[in-house]
Amino acid sequence: MLAQLPPALQKLHLPLRLKLWDGNEFDLGTDPSVTIVVKDPSLVSDFSHPSLDLLGSAFVEGRLELEGSISEVMRVCDELTAALVDEDDNVVPVRTEHDKETDAKSISYHYDLSNAFYQLWLDKEMVYSCAYFKTGHETLEQAQQDKFDHLCRKLRLKPGEYLLDVGCGWGGLARFAAREYGVKVFGITLSREQLALARDRVKAEGLEDRVELQLLDYRDLPQDGRFDKIVSVGMFEHVGHANLELYAKCLFGAVKEGGLVMNHGITAKHTDGRPVGRGAGDFIDRYVFPNGELPHLSMITGFISEAGLEVVDVESLRLHYARTLDHWSMRLEEKLDVAAAMVPEQALRIFRLYLAGCAYAFSKGWINLHQILAVKPRPDGSHDLPWTRDDLYA
C-alpha cells in the first residue's frame, strides 16, 4: 500500500501522517502534528503535485479529512506543497466581467450566508475586516474599536460632517462614527442579511436620525460631491480590476472638494495581481469570494490618482490582519459544534480553511492590507490636512 505513494512524497520530512482509506498509515517524519486522512483512493496520484487548492477542495468535498490544529494544518500543508509544487505555476487568472448583477450575486453568496454564523466568531460589533492592534496583545473587541478610531482619526472626522461608508457590512463603523465623532453617515451594502441586521442595530441604538443604510451599488452613488468624507473598508477587493477605474471615479464624484477618501483593503503581492501561495487564491475564488480580485497597491493608488484624488497616507497592516484572522479562526474552532447547526457542512469546511489559510497567507506576505488615504484637492491645489500625522497619535 505504501508503495503506492508517489516517490516524491516519500522523500519528504514533515510532521505529517497520511492515513489511507484502508487503514494504512505513512509518516513523513517523526511526531506528526497533522494527519491527512485520504478517503478517496484517486487522490493519491494527485499527491505528487498537491496544490493548496487541491488539498482544500478535496477537504471541502469530503474526499479527505484534516486532523490537528487548523493553524498547524495550514503550516504543514504549505510545507508539503512548497516541496512539491513550483510557485511559478501561478499565472494571472482570467478576470471576469463585473456588472451589478454578478456583483450582487457574489456578495450575497458570501455575506448572506448566516448572520448567526458570523456572530459566532466575529466580535460583538461584527467587524469583518482587519483590526488594529496597538501592541499586539489587545483583545479582538478592543482592536476592532481601535481600528474604527484609527480610521476616523485618519479621516479627521468632525461633528456634523457627512460620511459615506461604502460596503458598510453590519454597520459597526457607521454607528461608531456617528456616536463617537458626531457625523451623519450614509452606508451602502449589497448584502440583504447585513442590511437587515445593521438597520436593527442602528434602531436599537437610537441612531436612525444620523445613520442611513441602503442596499445600493457603488455605481449608483450620487455624483454631486455631497459627502465630506468617504470610508471604504474591505470593499475594493470585490470591484474587479476592470472596474477599479470606474470605482475610483465614483468615489471622486461623491466626495466634495477638499474631502478625504479612505480605502482600506487587501492588496496583492504582485503588480499584475497574480496570486502567490500555490493555488490558495484559486480556492478562495472558487469557494469563498467568487469574482474577488485583489489589486496591488500600485494598481489601486494608480486608479485613485487618475480619478483626481491625491494619495497622502498609506499604511500596511498586514500582520494585524494575520492576528485578526487568528482570532476569528480560533473562535470558530472553539465552536464547531454550534457552527455545524448553522451552516451546511461544506460551508463550515470552507470557512475553517479560509480563516486559518488567510491568517497564514498574511503572515507569510502572500497578501497584504493597506489603508490608503487620499484627498480631493481644491482646484488651486489646497486642502485642509494638517502638516503632520501627529494628530493621529495624540
> Interface with its own copies by CB under 8 A: which residues?
132-136, 269-271, 296-299, 301-302, 305-306, 310-316, 318-320, 363-365, 368, 370, 377, 380-382, 387-390, 392-394
From residue 55, give the alpha-carbon distance in Å to each of 5, 64, 279: 16, 8, 9
C-alpha to C-alpha distance for 144 and 138, rounded to whole angstroms:
9
Q: Which is nearer to its own copies, 312 or 342 (CB)?
A: 312
C-alpha to C-alpha distance for 184 and 245, rounded to whole angstroms:
27
Q: Which is nearer to its own copies, 290 or 302 (CB)?
A: 302
Q: Which is nearer to its own copies, 151 or 339 (CB)?
A: 151
Please, what is the minimum distance in Å from the beta carbon of residue 82 to its own copies? 11
From residue 152, give the alpha-carbon distance in Å to each of 155, 157, 190, 333: 5, 6, 23, 32
Cell of 199: 438597520
Judge contact between 345 and 375, C-beta under 8 A. no
Output DSSP code: residue 300: H
Torsion angle of C-alpha atoms 314, 360, 393, 309, degrees rounded to 10? 20
Beta strands in the chain (DSSP E): 16-19, 25-27, 34-38, 64-67, 162-166, 184-189, 211-215, 227-233, 255-268, 310-316, 367-375
Please, what is the minimum distance in Å from the beta carbon of residue 69 to its own copies? 18
Active-site residue, selected from the candidate residues 77, 130, 152, 358: 358
C-alpha to C-alpha distance for 112 and 343, rounded to whole angstroms:
11
Please, what is the minimum distance in Å from the beta carbon of residue 227 to its own copies? 21
Q: Which is nearer to its own copies, 67 or 315 (CB)?
A: 315
Beta-ladder partners of 261 = 230, 374
C-alpha to C-alpha distance for 156 and 19, rounded to whole angstroms:
57
H-helix or E-strand containing 249? helix 244-254
Please, what is the minimum distance in Å from the beta carbon of residue 390 to its own copies? 5
Please, what is the minimum distance in Å from the beta carbon of residue 325 to its own copies? 14
- Check if 130 is active-site: no
Q: Which is nearer to its own copies, 86 or 101 (CB)?
A: 86
Q: Which is nearer to its own copies, 38 or 52 (CB)?
A: 52
| Residues labelled as active-site residues | 358
